[in-house]
Amino acid sequence: MATFQERKPFAQPLLPYVDTYIQVSGKEAPSKYIPPHAGISLVMDFGHHSRYEGARLKIAVIGHQERPFYLHRTEGADHDALNIRFTAYGASAFVKLPLHEINNLLIDAADLFGPDIYQLYETLQPVSRLDTRIQLVETFLLNRLQAPSPTRQLIYRMADTLRYTTDFPALETIKTATTLSNRQIERCFRQLVGINMRQYRRMVRWEKARNLLEQNRYQKLSDIAYEAGYFDQSHFIADCRAMLNITPKEYKSCTMSH
């Protein structure tokens, strides 16, 4: 039986940049569609038994996805994979490539993190304990962590404001505190987050709604739509169809059956 383990970052300086570490080990890990989310992922497949949209890479970076993508796991194989899921802007603190350039792509991790990522992979492969793997990964990331420039700090604050609050006046206050034009802000936002501000707002709102669906806290879709910040239920349903190709009711039934 497959085991799924999740951890938050251990190192305090990484909390703004790394969202979650997820380790999958053992047999009978199911194939599934992965819904879009804000942020990129670094995936290390130590068992070599997974394919992402048909492609197989032992160390892959999955860029921001606008649609769900299919993760195929070989049936009956002994799986061992580590997924490092970054926050919306998290990966930009460790790499120089603008994140929008890898949207909807699956690339070799060395193209983004350099050849040192192969050495990290070789170090992690014989280790089975998740906490030990995390410590090794965090040493690698901390050595690459770049002190954010004032512009980066501004974009990070804007992304966090959009993600954790619906206080749009606060967002305008942040904008007026800089000499950057709106066009410059939008360009920097896209480079560091991977998508523009309008797309990011939509993604954040959708993720809130999806989490509420999975938690099964509300019976009415209209209540979920309101809580997540949608103007009405029809916009919520439209986003669900766009993100998952199914309706909210179908997704809720699917999550409750697992």
Find the CATH number of the domain harbouring 24.
Answer: 2.60.120
Q: Are residues 180 and 218 in the same domain?
A: no
**How big is the chain, counted in residues?**
258
Q: Are residues 135 and 13 in the same domain?
A: yes
Q: Are residues 157 and 91 in the same domain?
A: no
What's the DSSP call for residue 128? -
Beta bridge partners of 84: 21, 42
Confidence check: pLDDT of 252 > 80:
no
Write out pLDDT tens, residues 125-149.
999 999 999 999 999 999 999 889 9
Q: If you search the block for the tokens 């993604």, which residue do you land on?
A: 203
Q: Are residues 21 and 58 in the same domain?
A: yes
Range of the domain at 231: 198-256
| 232 three-state secondary structure | coil
Quickly state the pLDDT bin for 90 (edges 50, 70, 90).
very high
Confidence check: pLDDT of 167 > 60:
no
**Interatomic CA distance for residues 65 and 17, integer angstroms:** 18
Write out pLDDT tens, residues 26-37.
888 888 888 888
CA 178 to chain centre: 28
Question: What's the CATH code of the domain at 204?
Answer: 1.10.10.60
53 neighbors 70 (Cβ within 8 angstroms): yes
Q: Are residues 70 and 8 in the same domain?
A: yes
Q: Are residues 59 and 159 in the same domain?
A: no
**What's the structural domain count of the chain?**
3
Confidence check: pLDDT of 25 > 60:
yes
Q: Are residues 191 and 202 in the same domain?
A: no
Write out pLDDT tens, residues 42-73.
999 998 878 887 777 789 999 998 888 888 88
Q: Burial of 68 by CB count in 10 Å (0-12 exposed, 13-18 middle, 19+ buried)?
A: middle
Q: Are residues 14 and 124 in the same domain?
A: yes
Q: Are residues 94 and 190 in the same domain?
A: no
Confidence check: pLDDT of 76 > 90:
no
Indicate whether this model's pTM tops 0.85. yes
> Whose CA is closest to 188, among 89, 61, 64?
89
Q: Are residues 214 and 94 in the same domain?
A: no
Quickly state the pLDDT bin for 254 (edges 50, 70, 90).
low
**Interatomic CA distance for residues 191 and 200, integer angstroms:** 12
- Report helix angle 150-164 to 197-215, nearest 10: 40
Confidence check: pLDDT of 237 > 70:
yes
**Interatomic CA distance for residues 68 and 242, integer angstroms:** 9
Q: If you search the block for the tokens 């349903």, which residue do you land on?
A: 237
% residues pLDDT > 70 (the chain): 96
Q: Are residues 125 and 182 in the same domain?
A: no
**Interatomic CA distance for residues 60 and 161, integer angstroms:** 30
Mean pLDDT of 78-107: 94
Q: Are residues 133 and 206 in the same domain?
A: no
Neighbouring CB atoms inside 10 A of 161's CB total 17
Sort residue 65 into left (φ over 0), alpha (ψ -120 to 50) or beta. Answer: beta
Q: Which residues contact 122 (CB under 8 A, 6 or more apart)?
A: none
